[in-house]
Structure 1
Amino acid sequence: MAAEPEMESQEGLFSHLLELRTRLIKAILALAVVLAALVPFANRLYAWLAAPLVSRLPEGAHLIATEVASPFITPLKLTFYAALFISMPVILYQLWAFVSPGLYKHEKRLARPLLVSALVLFYIGCAFAYFLVLPAAFRFLTAVTPQGVEMMTDITHYLDFVMLMFFAFGLCFEVPVAVVVLAAVGIVDLDKLRKGRRYAVVGAFAIAAVVTPPDITSMIMLAIPMCLLYEVGLLAVRWLLKPNAVDAASHS
């Protein structure tokens, strides 16, 4: 009799592993399809990515390739990043489809908007960096280039820098999601979040000073949205978390 529960648990684990394998295959296939569709446009994608810097370089200056294979490898790396960026909704859906059957109803009610919001906010953060922050940063960097120094950036270093900016700004724009999660698990409550506004502002400017290029404009352009997103997080806590649910989480 004791062997039956053990066999059932093994069968349950095996079925979960099969389900995980299926979800992973679907996610990888989605990534592969998007990647295959984007590969013919690799050079065009890189030209689009380099536009914020190229348009602000002095006349006659241009990007350079310091390694033999980088003119071929670097656009392909960007294509992979773009494919991952585009297929992320499908990847997250497969993750959600695997995890959601084990969640309670109230956990699903909270997890769905948080997951969608996290993805949308990350995209908004990347777009904010590309359309607003990078042009301002490159305008500053080209303006402070010493006389007699020609600014000619390596294409691989430029890609790494821009991807780092995208990732940093995407994460910084997750402030509302982080606030809701902290409140949901009982680490903080709405009153503490309200009282912590001044610390949030100081933290936003400190993070912006570390993350952004060394110009005051870029720092302010990140710090102010983070402060505003903190307020959005307070509103989300009020809307998504009932007071009794937060209190129960804090006492559990």
Structure 2
Amino acid sequence: MPFIAHLEELRDRLIRCFIAIFIGFLAAYGFREILFEILIRPLVQVMGQKDSLIFTGLPEAFFTYLKVAFIAGIFISSPVLLYQFWAFVAPGLYKKERLFLLPVVILSTFFFAGGALFGYFLVFPYGFQFFLDFAGENIQAMPSMKEYLAFSSKLLLAFGLIFELPLVLTAMSRMGLVTPAFLRTNRKYAVLIFFIAAAIITPPDVVTQCFMALPLMLLYEISIIGAVVVQRKSPCPGQTDTEEKPRPLPPPKTHSGPAGAAGEPSSTSAASSGKPEEPNDG
């Protein structure tokens, strides 16, 4: 396929993606208030107030609802987006690459959703409580809609990407960048990084830090298992899937009879050489 045809196909698939996002946006905008109430539920439960958020500018609430509907529209249209991506990339891949990449694309969606749900149900309540503890008698927390949406969406995105760790390390192992032995050797450094990240994100108590770091350690162990699996299935170094093993040469043909034994040419060899056979006088 020529390069211009690839660009035309890319344009058509991007247009379909934008149409799918727009349709998802329109569908989500009708439920904008319900979606935003679901998003702020962890904060409302911690603050214990019905009206826990404010907006400081006249159009702030309107634009916040637009952003919520847009994010929900991307989530609703994600099956179409993944299909368009796969339909554009798959024809240029080998069969084994397609068999490896297709489960990765599907699993990445579930891992990302699992990370976002983990952050929403487990991290949000403890994190919001930690930040609200800085309020005092003369200090009152009054978060705005725009600030909360920006903060919560960044956290959900961060936890979704963190839960992609097993897929990333498995893909790196498939490409030969890391090995299971390397991951096992550096496990202690990974655990240290996980606890440091948990200490920064969560409140400063040991129980909450362990509550945050243990899932990351579990993801790291899953990464090692995935690396072992792909290492066993990968071909040997220096031998590709399309290479054929060299075939042994056939044994040389031998001629029976005294002529063949004495090394003299036989009648068949003479006929094949095009020279007539001389008569035997005697």
Coarse TM-score class (shorter-chain normalised): 0.7 to 0.9
The answer (yes or no) to whether the contact 1:186–1:246 under 8 Å persists in 2 is no
Q: CA deviation at 1:60?
A: 7.1
**In terms of Rg, which structure is larger?**
2
> Are residues 74 and 81 of structure 1, via their aligned partners in 2, closer, same or farther at CA, if it must alter by over 3 Å?
same
Matched to 1:172, the amino acid is I
The answer (yes or no) to whether the contact 1:125–1:166 under 8 Å persists in 2 is yes
1:109 to 87, 91, 99: 99
CA deviation map 1:9-36 (0-9, x unaligned) = xx61122112111211221111111111
Matched to 2:162, the amino acid is C
> Tell me, what secondary structure is at the counterpart of 1:180?
helix
The answer (yes or no) to whether the contact 2:56–2:144 under 8 Å persists in 1 is yes
Q: For residues 204 and 54 of structure 2, what CA distance do their matches in structure 1 show?
A: 24
> Are residues 83 and 239 of structure 1, via their aligned partners in 2, closer, same or farther at CA, if it must alter by over 3 Å?
same
The answer (yes or no) to whether the contact 2:54–2:144 under 8 Å persists in 1 is yes
Alignment correspondent of 2:168 = 178
Q: For residues 240 and 51 of structure 1, what CA distance do their matches in structure 2 show?
A: 41
Matched to 1:109, the amino acid is L
Alignment correspondent of 1:201 = 191
* Unmatched tracts of structure 2, length 5 or more: 240-282
After TM superposition, list the pairs within 5 Å mapping 1:86-97 onto structure 2.
86-97=76-87
> Tell me, what secondary structure is at the counterpart of 2:2?
helix
Aligned: 1:160 with 2:112:
no
The answer (yes or no) to whether the contact 2:44–2:50 under 8 Å persists in 1 is no
After TM superposition, list the pairs within 5 Å mapping 1:169-248 onto structure 2.
169-210=159-200, 212-216=201-205, 219-242=209-232, 244-245=234-235, 247=237
Q: CA deviation at 1:246?
A: 7.2
Aligned: 1:13 with 2:3:
yes
Aligned: 1:100 with 2:52:
no
Alignment correspondent of 1:142 = 132
Matched to 2:46, the amino acid is R
Q: CA deviation at 1:215?
A: 4.2
Matched to 2:148, the amino acid is Y
2:65 to 68, 72, 75: 75
> Are residues 67 and 219 of structure 1, via their aligned partners in 2, closer, same or farther at CA, if it must alter by over 3 Å?
farther
> Tell me, what secondary structure is at the counterpart of 2:172?
helix
Aligned: 1:65 with 2:55:
yes
The answer (yes or no) to whether the contact 1:179–1:237 under 8 Å persists in 2 is yes
* Unmatched tracts of structure 1, length 5 or more: 1-10
Greater shift, 118-127 or 190-199, is seen at: 190-199
> Are residues 244 and 29 of structure 1, via their aligned partners in 2, closer, same or farther at CA, if it must alter by over 3 Å?
closer
Q: For residues 147 and 170 of structure 2, what CA distance do their matches in structure 1 show?
A: 36
CA deviation map 1:42-85 (0-9, x unaligned) = 12211111111112215576211012211111111111111112
CA deviation map 1:182-233 (0-9, x unaligned) = 11121111111121211111222233344x2554465444322111011111
Alignment correspondent of 2:116 = 126
Task: Name which structure has the greater RCO, CA cutoff 8 Å, separation 6+.
Answer: 1
The answer (yes or no) to whether the contact 1:137–1:218 under 8 Å persists in 2 is no
Q: For residues 183 and 236 of structure 1, what CA distance do their matches in structure 2 show?
A: 8
Q: For residues 137 and 234 of structure 1, what CA distance do their matches in structure 2 show?
A: 30
Matched to 1:171, the amino acid is L
Matched to 2:109, the amino acid is L
Greater shift, 112-121 or 50-59, is seen at: 50-59
Q: For residues 155 and 113 of structure 2, what CA distance do their matches in structure 1 show?
A: 12
* Equivalenced residues, count: 238
Q: For residues 101 and 180 of structure 2, what CA distance do their matches in structure 1 show?
A: 19
The answer (yes or no) to whether the contact 1:137–1:215 under 8 Å persists in 2 is no
Percentage of identical aligned residues:
35
> Are residues 243 and 91 of structure 1, via their aligned partners in 2, closer, same or farther at CA, if it must alter by over 3 Å?
closer
> Are residues 241 and 208 of structure 1, via their aligned partners in 2, closer, same or farther at CA, if it must alter by over 3 Å?
same
Matched to 1:118, the amino acid is S
TM value normalised by structure 1:
0.86
User: Larger % of helix: which?
Assistant: 1
CA deviation map 1:107-154 (0-9, x unaligned) = 112111111111111111111111111012223333442232222111
